[in-house]
């Protein structure tokens, strides 16, 4: 019958744990050599003295490696934490800027919408005034007794229509400038703030 191989788990160690284990092993070897000398006086001190020095040097080297590893891991941790803090800060700034930009666009669209409503109201007022002027002209034209009177009424009506049209063009031009200024103001303000922050 074939036996199934046993699974063994290997525990991974951090560099600090590995160096600590190495230091423990070096101490155990040195202790073993030194206890052998104590229990067996036949070892001459010329042989054990280099072992003691090597064990002391091994302990010192292991201790130094442990300190360097600790410094490196602390430096690495500090760098990672600093990077995370900078990333969080950049994210918060980007989020705030996006919210402010969205608010500026929303205000701009609100102003444009209000401007479109004003344009519609002005157009309706102009159409109503045109209709009333046409009705008044037709009434007076129907009441004309001579062809000369009809021509005079037509001339007066045309002159008034041209004046009304000129006034409407000026009103619509002024309204268009106001709507454009109102709609672009939130965006200009936000753009100026963004450049001030960047500078």
Model pLDDT, residue 162: 92
Asked if 124 and 172 touch (Cβ cutoff 8 Å), the reply is no
- Closest by CA to 112, choosing from 181, 168, 169, 173, is 181
Contact 98, 191 (CB under 8 A): no
What sign does the dihedral 99-100-106-109 (CA atoms) show?
negative
Residue linked to tokens 């900078």: 86
Q: Rounded to an integer, what distance in angstroms lies between the CA atom of residue 107 and that of residue 191?
A: 14
For the chain, counts of helices (H) and of strands (E) = 3, 0
Q: How many CA atoms lie less than 13 Å away from 83 in the CB half-sphere? A: 6
CA proximity to 101, closest of 191, 184, 3? 191
How high is the mean pLDDT in each 10-residue block of the chain (199 residues)? 54 55 57 52 66 80 82 84 89 86 85 87 90 90 88 91 91 89 86 72
Q: What is the pTM of this model?
A: 0.50
DSSP single-letter state for residue 13 = -
């Amino acid at each position: 019958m074939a036996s199934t191989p046993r699974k063994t788990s290997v525990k991974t160690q951090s560099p600090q744990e590995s160096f600590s284990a190495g230091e423990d092993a070096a101490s155990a070897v040195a202790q073993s050599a030194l206890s052998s000398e104590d229990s067996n006086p036949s070892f001459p001190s010329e042989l054990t003295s280099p072992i003691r020095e090597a064990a002391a040097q091994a302990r010192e080297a292991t201790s130094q490696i442990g300190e360097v590893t600790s410094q490196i891991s602390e430096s690495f941790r500090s760098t990672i934490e600093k990077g995370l803090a900078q990333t969080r800060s950049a994210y918060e700034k980007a989020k705030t800027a996006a919210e402010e930009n969205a608010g500026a666009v929303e205000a701009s669209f609100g102003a444009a919408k209000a401007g479109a409503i004003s344009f519609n109201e002005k157009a309706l007022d102009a159409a109503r005034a045109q209709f009333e002027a046409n009705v008044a002209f037709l009434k007076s034209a129907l009441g004309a007794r001579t062809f000369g009177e009809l021509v005079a009424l037509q001339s007066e009506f045309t002159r008034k229509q041209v004046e009304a049209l000129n006034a409407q063009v000026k009103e619509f031009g002024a309204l268009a400038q106001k709507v454009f200024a109102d709609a672009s103001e939130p965006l200009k303000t936000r753009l100026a703030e963004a450049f001030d922050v960047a500078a």
